[in-house]
Amino acid sequence: MKGILTMKYGARNTISAKVKSVKSDEIMSLVKFDVTKVSEMASVLTTESLKDLDLKPGDEVQLIIKAIHVLPIK
């Protein structure tokens, strides 16, 4: 193997983090992260939902991240 292998990924929203802990058994491992840098995120929603939420610039909201994977990249 020559050179450095780079993992390609399709995720667009990224969050900088530091590994906090690692717990492993024979089949699965759990890695916990501390978010280290404030990040910008985006959401695509229906205009009906936007109107129902009455979102406008400057509003304080909570973001619920619904995903099936968190992909650590080093």
Is residue 12 classed exposed, middle or buried when 0-12, 13-18 and 19+ CB atoms within 10 A define those classes?
exposed
Taking the whole predicted model, whether its pTM rises above 0.95 is answered as no
Looking at residue 58, what is its pLDDT? Answer: 93
Q: Kind and range of the H or E element at 51? A: helix 47-53
For the chain, what are the domain ranges? Answer: 17-53
Mean pLDDT (10-residue bins), the chain, 74 residues: 58 79 94 83 90 94 81 79
Residue type at 74?
Answer: K
Looking at residue 42, what is its pLDDT? Answer: 82
Q: Residue 4 in 3-state DSSP?
A: coil
Task: Tell me how far the alpha carbon of residue 39 is from its chain's centroid.
Answer: 9
CA–CA distance, 28 with 46 (Å, rounded to integer): 37
